[in-house]
Structure 1
Amino acid sequence: MPFFKTLLFSFAAATLLSAENPNNYKSELEAFQQYKQVQKKSFQIEKNSFETYKKAQEKAFTDYQKELGIFWEKPKLSNKKEWITYTTDKKTRTDVNFEQEKITIETIADSEQEAQENIHIALAKAVTQDTKSAYESDPLQQRINQIQKPKEVVDAQPDAKPILKNIVFTTSPTKEDVSKYVLNNTTNILSKDSSKQKGKKIYFVDVQLPKNTTYKRSQDYYQEVLKNSQKQDISLHLIFAIIHSESSYNPMARSHIPAYGLMQIVPKTAGIDAYQYLYNKKRLLSSSYLYNSENNIEIGSAYLHILYYKYLRAIKNPQSKLYCTVAAYNTGAGNVARAFVGTNDVNAAARIINELTPDEVYRRLLRDLKYNEPKVYLQRVTERKKVYEKIYQQS
C-alpha cells in the first residue's frame, strides 16, 4: 500500500478506535500530523522538480537565443504580445505583433530574389497556421519538448485554433487566395545591411493586419469564454478584457515570470490554486498544457473565481470587489490589501473598502497600488470590459 494511503488508513482506523477509547486520540492526532507533514514534504519535492524542469527550459531558451545571435543583432523570442518564429536555418524571422496588429518579416539573403521567396513563404505560413501546427513547427518548442518533464507535471497538447486565418480571410482560403494576399502585401520589400552577416543584407516587409484584429480574434474563443463564464459565475466581458490585456490574443504568449498563454497563467501560483480548486489535486502545469486555449481559459477563469469569491469574499459591494479582483489578477490579493491597510491582511482591507464607494475604491487603487503596472492594468481592463459589453451585448 502506498505510504500516503497507509497513513490515511491508519488515521481512519484510529478515528474509529478513539470513539471507543479516548486514549487512542493522541495516536490518532500524531498519525494525522505525520500524514500532513509527509504530504507537505512531497509537494515540496514536486515544486523542486518543477524548478529543475523550469531551469532546463530557461537554458534551452538561452542557448537558442545565443545561436540566433550569430545571425541577428537583436535575437527576439515570443513574449506576451508578440508571436515570433524562425525558420530552421534561423535566417528568416516572422514577428506577429498582436498589440500593434502588424506582421514584420525579416530575412538574411544573398539576393533580392532569394529574399522575396523567403518572405513569401513566411507570410503565407503566418496567415494560415493554427496553434497546433505553430507549436509543432517551432524549432525552440521542439527542443523544450525533449526535456524530461517531472511526473507531477500535468501535460497536454495545444489545440488547433486558427491564429490569423479567420481575420485575414473572410472564407476558408484556397491556395490562390493565399498567393494573392501574399503578393499584394509584399510589393514594398526594403533592405538594410546585416551587422552580423558581413556582405549580406536583411530584407524586410511590414504587413498591417485588418483594423480591430484584436477584438475580432475574440470570436475564436467565444464558446470557451462563455462556458467558463457560466461555470465560474464570472462576467464574460471581464474574461475577454483580461485576455486582451494579458496577451492581445497571442496564443503562444510567454512572459519572463514565466507565465503562459492567453490569460498568462503562472504555473507555480495561479496554476496550482486554480487546478486544485477545479480538480481537488495540487499539480504543476506545463507550458504546453497552458498553450492549449481551452485549458488556459479554464484555469484563468477559475483563478478569477477564487479571487472574487474566496480571497476577496469579505468585500461587500460587487463593483468594489470587481475592481480589486482585476488588480489582484495582476499583482496579487496581498498587494491589493496593502493599498488600503499597508499589510497583506485582506480582511482588514475589506473593512476599509466596505466604507468606501466603488469609485473611491477605484481611485484609491490607482493612487496607492505599490507598482505602476497594476494601475495601468486596472484602467485597461476596466475600459476594455466596457467595449466587450458592447460587442457581446446579449451575453
Structure 2
Amino acid sequence: MASRIDYSKYPFLLSPGDLTSLHVDKPSLIVFHDSTLREKLISIVRNIVEKGGLPPNYCSSSEECVLLYYAVLDVVKAISDKWLQNRVALVYSKYASHSLNQESSEKLLLLGRKLGLDVNLVHGEPNIPRLLVISGRSRKIRFVPCEFAISVTSYLRVVSKRLIHDQTYSLINNIVSGGYVYLDRKTYQRLLEEAILNKILSAIEETTPSLSDEFVKIVTEVEKILTETRRDRYVEYQYREYREPLETTAKLELKSRELPVIEELFPPCIEKIINTLRSGGNPGHIERFNLAAFLGSIGLSPESVLEYFKTTADFNEKIARYQVEHILGIRGGKKKYLPYSCEKMKLTGICPIQEQCEGGKNPITVYKYTVRKRLKNNNTEKSSLSRDDQAAGGI
C-alpha cells in the first residue's frame, strides 16, 4: 500500500502535534513572526475571500503548506465569521478534491483512514449499473465496481450534515451488507471531500488563536479585506410589498403565474433554507435546488433568485446562473422544475415541522393559499375601516 501522503495537497491531515520538531507550542506562530510567510498568509486569505480559491503555487514545500493552513485557521477563528469559516473549509476541500482524481485506490483508502473513516478495499466487489449520457440522445448502461466498503457509522457521520437531504446518499439507495456501505470510486471521493470539509470546520472550532501583536495586526488586515469585499458585493435585499386593496392585487396577481413576494408567508421549509443562507450557512445541493425552484415558480427572475445565493461561501455567479436558469426552464431542455412535494420535503429532512401546512401538499400551493388568506384578511379589514368611517360621517 502506498504510504506517503503529499501534505501540500492535504495539509489538514497533519496535526499540530506531528510538528514537534519545530519546538513551538503552535506551529502557526512561525508564520506570524516571519515577514515572507505573513505576506503569503494574507495572499491566501485574500484569494479565498475574493476569488474562492487558493493562489497558484501558494507554498514552496509541504511543511510550509501545513504551517500556512494552521495560520489560516487561527485567523478565521479569531474573526469568528461563519461565512468565512465555511468558505475556507470549502476552498481547501475543493482543492484537495482535484488531487483525489489522480490518486490510486490504495491512496484513497489511506486518506479515508487518516480522516478517521472505517473503510476497506473490497476484493471481488459488487457492480452497480450506472446510466451514462454520452451525448444528447446517446445513452448506455455501464456497470461500475463498488471497490470501497465504509462502515455505516462512518458513512452516516459524514453524510448527516449536508448530504442527508440528497437521496443519492440515502442508505436505501446504496448497497449495505454486514454493517458496511459499498461505494464506487466516484461516490467515495465525494464522501472524502465532505469528510475533509467537516474536519476543517471542526479544526476551526477547536483551535485557540494566538494573542501576539503580529497576529492581531494580521487579523485586522483580514477583517479589512473581508469588509471591503462585502461592501463591493453586498446587495441589499429589497422585496416588493403589496398593499393594494383586494380588488386590484388579487385580480392582478393571483390570476397570473407570479405571486407577490412576502417572505414572512413563505412555507417553513423555504424559510429554513433562507435562514441557513443568511446566517452564513452552507445548504446542500437539494436545498438550493428547492429554493431556486420555489422562487422561480412564484415569478422571480433569475437575477432575483441569484440574490438569495450571493452570500453563500462557495458562490460562483457563472455556475450559479447556469444552474438557476436551468431550473427555471430558460436553459437546457426548457423544462421548468418544481420544488419537492411536502411529503418529499419531510422524507429528506428539509421540512422542519411535523404537522402538515394548510393549503396544499406542495410549497407553492401552500404559499398561494397563505397569500390569498392574507389578502382576504387585508380586504376584510379595509372594508371594516370603510364602514367605520361612513358611520362616523366620513366620505
TM over 0.5: no
Higher RCO (CA < 8 A, seq sep 6+): 2
TM-score range, shorter chain: under 0.3
TM-score, with normalisation over the residues of structure 2?
0.25
TM-score by length of 1: 0.25
